[in-house]
Structure 1
Amino acid sequence: MVRGLAPATALRGRAAAAARWCTCRRVAVAVCLGNLAAALLVARALYAPGTFASAPKRGEARYSKEQVRWVEESIRIRRAAEPVELIEAVKKLRKAFAREEKRRKELPLELKQKVSREILQRLRDLGENRNTTEQREAVESWRVEKLKYIRSSSTQNLSNFGLSSEESRMLKQALDFNWRMLLEDIGLWIPPTVYHIEHDDKPENEQEEQEIVPGPPLPPECNAELHTDYGGTAVRWGLTHHKESAADCCQACIDQAKRAKPGALKCNIWVYCPSEYGCYSPDKYEHKHQECWLKQADHPKLNFKDRYSEPYRDSHPTAPVVVPWMSGVISA
């Protein structure tokens, strides 16, 4: 009897365990379904159409009724200030240009070349020393003559001239209505004549404005001369001798002459480069701003004064118009 009860007891235990397991699974499934339903409800509440309308976004500006009224008023004023007539006129011009562009037909290349050759020949016959006004008049006379010929010629004459009826019609329209466009197509442009009239309204006795030299004023013994380059034997090379101002350069010349030993060259000429862009010289060196040359000459001679001559500039293409140096001969 004991042996018969053991299997029955085991079966009842297994059944109870299975019942407990099923109950736990149902509870877990129920909990999951509940969580899923809650998540769906939350998502629906978050993404509902009216949600964002009622709650402003983070950082979104909120305007008062007074501010909204100001914005609407500014929009109304801006619209009232729009140049309506000008806008309408521009629209009409655009339509007219569009119609003109549709009517315009491109001339054949051979015909363009023929027109350009005839115009160039007319300009050659005019001569090289003619001004732009005479050149424009010559081109205009060619246009008038060509139009007159096309209008008065018969179909037979035009064919002998090398033009078909369609080409003659296109050329007539180009010469009559699209003349400027035709000139642009063949690449012909004659600049307008510009007349320069100088008006000298300066009083007769008014003195010329003096050029300002940077730095302290130069003493009278420096005898400073603007746009001047004196020659002489170099006592101190300016390539390695720079001074802050022309006055300092002149003073350096005076000091050198005082400290010079017996028999040594004494400075009596100073040459300074005041230009921030450097100073031109015909030698091979690059002369920079604030170069100070100390020189000596018993009989000082000018290298350059005021302006470089045209023959000199022709032989020295890099030379500027005005002499950039300033210099002086120290008075005894």
Structure 2
Amino acid sequence: MAREGRCPIWGLGSGLCSYKIITLIVCSLNIVIALSCLRSLYSSPYIYSNKDYGVVKHTPDHIRKMEKSVRIRRANEPIELVKLVNQLKPELWGGGSMPSAELPQAVKNKITEEILQRLRNLRPNATASEEQEAVQTWRREKLKEAKMLADGGKGLNSTLVQEEAGNLVKVLESDWAALSEEIGLWIPTAIENREHNDKPEGVEDTEDVEQILAGRPLPPECNLEIHTDYDGECVQWGLSNPQESAADCCQACLDQAKSAKPDQKKCNIWVYCPSESGCYSPDTYQHKHMECWLKYSEKPSLNFKDRYSEEYRNSHSNVPLIVPWVSGVIRV
């Protein structure tokens, strides 16, 4: 029988086997197991969903295209024109400084929600004129509200605070166009010829949409759709393919389809950004004015159409009210 405090195991015979040695051995085993688990954890490949986590792995080809896009934009930047405009700014504003009213993002979000609610309250098939009138009515009411609050109005039931009201008055009066662009409010101006029929005889009534797009009119085969973003396999990278107009973008698609080699996809979808402030997209790129994406799809499907849904806007930041892209599917 072993004496108390001695442990005749592991070949130690009658040697000392104190509890400290046993504890040390157990701790060492625990450390080895822990290190093995950590090594296994860090060596395992993690694949995160781009939709859920916003992680995007750029391929070398994407990186090269992005670098090429940056070089093209820098080369086309009108540096001399920008300098000239900066010199003329004091004269254009009467020797004073330009208005620099800035609104907090929270106020912009309130404005977006209020305008969106006005548009929701319209009938389902509301015309562009009715949408414009609804927005302008909101603007007049909000401007009156902001002026009363800025002048010290008390007891006024308003979603604004007095400090914000002053800046909002300036924006609604002089910077409304810039604010509309920033929040993505782009509604085509309806042009009617009821009062003055100035169209030549034999010319049928057509959509006035093309009149809000810069450049020449689009041919019928382009099948223009405003506020539309089509999905598809990219045959021409848009970041490095700026076009002067939607018509030029469509023509680029037609030309690519004609000149494509037998083993290449032929363009049948064109997607163009007509907004000078750029166009929103859920990817990681910053999409600029005049971007032209050429795509192919056997069965074209939509990414977005008309307005972004409330559910989508709630789950994504900086989403405008209305889809800024214009697109077309070329039927063969």
For the aligned pair, the TM-score class normalised by the smaller chain equals: 0.3 to 0.5
- Larger RCO of the pair (alpha carbons < 8 Å, separation 6+): 2
TM-score, normalised to structure 1's length? Answer: 0.39
TM-score by length of 2: 0.39
More helix by share: 1
Larger Rg over CA atoms: 1
